[in-house]
Amino acid sequence: MRILGIDPGLSATGYGIIENGLATEFGLITTDTRQPTPERLRSLGEGMEEVVRRNRPTQCALETLFFKSVGARSVIRSAEARGTIIYVLGRNRIPVTELTPATIKLALTGSGRASKHQMNYMVKRLLHLGERVSEHAADALAAAYCLSRRLPRASGGEGDAKGKGERGSGKVRTGTPRRERERGNGEGEGRKS
């Protein structure tokens, strides 16, 4: 089973792919903050389409939005980004499970109030990642890991997910435990082999 985890955001959306308990790819889809919102949403959608096309996930774990005290504009922009992502997933017929940040934190650390540092540490430890993982990519991998622990185990061998990082209209930065390959922006997330 290939699970796509997503930490949604308009400026940076983290994503991570887990298959058979291992991270096969993770990274960020970023949008240009100087562009109008419709253009940024289009870029985000195209970047997500590229990730889906490249990895062909069978399930998706989507972190729900959580805001402590921010302005309405920020909440609206985040909800618009999330809607774009859900549209891409629905169009590709990928089942989506929504998980709260507290649920994900509890699954990884045993505490629903774990810090970002604790989460990043546990993601790297549980998925055997030695390299630096951005906060958004770590949150996405954590969501995918949480869902992988909830779903029944599927039988079968390794799939064909390759750690390929390509640049679409949304800047997609990727990393994998196997290797890192970049085109265009030079800001990869993963371990270099």
The answer, yes or no, to whether residue 67 has pLDDT greater than 80, is no
pLDDT > 90: percent of the chain: 64
Asked if 63 is an active-site residue, the reply is: yes
pLDDT reported for residue 181 = 29
User: CA 23 from chain center: how many Å?
Assistant: 11
Given the residues 19, 25, 50, 63, select the one marked as catalytic: 63
Q: Residue 144, SS3?
A: helix
Q: Is residue 115 part of a domain?
A: yes
- Mean pLDDT score, 158-178: 41
Window from 41-45, 79-83, 175-179 with minimum mean pLDDT: 175-179
Distance between CA atoms of 191 and 141, rounded to whole angstroms?
15
Q: Is 146 left (phi over 0), alpha (psi -120 to 50) or beta?
A: alpha
The answer, yes or no, to whether residue 65 has pLDDT greater than 50, is yes
Which amino acid makes up residue 176? T
Given the residues 19, 25, 50, 136, select the one marked as catalytic: 136
| CATH code of the domain covering residue 166 | 3.30.420.10
Q: Return the half-sphere exposure (C-beta side, CA atoms, 13 A cut-off) of residue 154.
A: 14
Asked if 136 is an active-site residue, the reply is: yes
Which amino acid makes up residue 72? A
Q: Is residue 14 part of a domain?
A: yes
Distance between CA atoms of 152 and 189, rounded to whole angstroms?
30
Are the C-beta atoms of residues 137 and 119 closer than 8 Å to each other? Answer: no
- Mean pLDDT score, 9-33: 96
Q: Is residue 17 part of a domain?
A: yes
Q: Is residue 192 part of a domain?
A: no
pLDDT reported for residue 71 = 75
The per-residue pLDDT for range 103-162, each reduced to its tens digit, is 999 999 988 889 989 999 999 999 999 888 999 999 999 999 999 999 876 544 333 333
The answer, yes or no, to whether residue 69 has pLDDT greater than 90, is no
- Mean pLDDT score, 89-104: 96
Domain count, the chain: 1
**55 is in which domain, residue-wise?**
2-175
Three-state secondary structure of 112-132:
CCCCHHHHHHHHHHHCCCCCC
Rg (C-alpha) for the chain, rounded Å, is 15
The answer, yes or no, to whether residue 72 has pLDDT greater than 70, is yes
pLDDT reported for residue 164 = 34
Name which of 91, 96, 80 is nearest 40 in CA terms.
Answer: 80
Q: Is residue 99 part of a domain?
A: yes
pLDDT reported for residue 68 = 65
Asked if 46 is an active-site residue, the reply is: no
Q: Is residue 138 part of a domain?
A: yes
């810090």: which residue's tokens? 115
Instruction: Count CB atoms within 10 A of the CB of residue 143.
Output: 32
The answer, yes or no, to whether residue 163 has pLDDT greater than 70, is no
Given the residues 7, 19, 180, 189, select the one marked as catalytic: 7
Distance between CA atoms of 101 and 49, rounded to whole angstroms?
24
pTM of the predicted model as reported, rounded to 2 decimal places? 0.79
What is the edge-to-edge ordering of all strands in the sheet holding 22-30? Answer: 96-99, 59-63, 2-7, 12-19, 22-30, 171-175
